Amino acid sequence: MTTSTQNCENLFLDNSDSSLTAMEQKSKELKIRGVGIIAFLEDGKENWVSKMKVMGALKNEKVNFLAVAYSKAGEMVDTLKNSGTSDRTPLLGEFNFLGGLIEKVNNGYVLVVFSGATGEEDTVVAEVGLEFILSKLK
């Protein structure tokens, strides 16, 4: 890991909790509950650090929000595109759901996911987290 990558990862870690808190505030504003994830992915896709926060509910009677959130993250790590936007057929374990955003930063990628509502609402919550963390990394 280069010094520049380590610095970016440290900035990410220093600000990830605040990013998740901003997402949680947005989910409360929208009156939705679920799970948020934020991650820093080094170039090369083999190493990432992430944080997860339950934002009102880990699951409901029918859906495990955490499992769906990590499915979105896994899809984005493979495609380097926002979840649910790839034109390829989803692989086993992927569901092509909206609600995960990924952005290239120096020395890697940041990805942010929310799962708990519609794909459109999940994306709105994820956008808040992405905007927050990018403001700290750039």
Structural domains of the chain, ranges and CATH numbers in brackets: 3-137 (3.30.450.150)
Report pLDDT for 5. Answer: 65
Instruction: Give pTM, 2 decimals.
Output: 0.94
- Tokens found for residue 44: 């090369």
What span, in angstroms and rounded, lies between the C-alpha atoms of 8 and 5? 5
Q: Which of 32, 120, 124 is nearest to 112 (CA)?
A: 124
Report pLDDT for 138. Answer: 76
Q: What is the pLDDT of residues 16-57, one digit of tens each?
A: 999 999 999 999 999 999 999 999 998 877 889 999 999 999
Q: What angle do CA 73, 137, 101 make, to 5 degrees?
A: 25
Residues 6+ apart with CB under 8 A from 6: none
Buried b (16+ CB within 10 A) or exposed e, 6-35: eebbebbeebbeebbebbbebbeeeebbbb
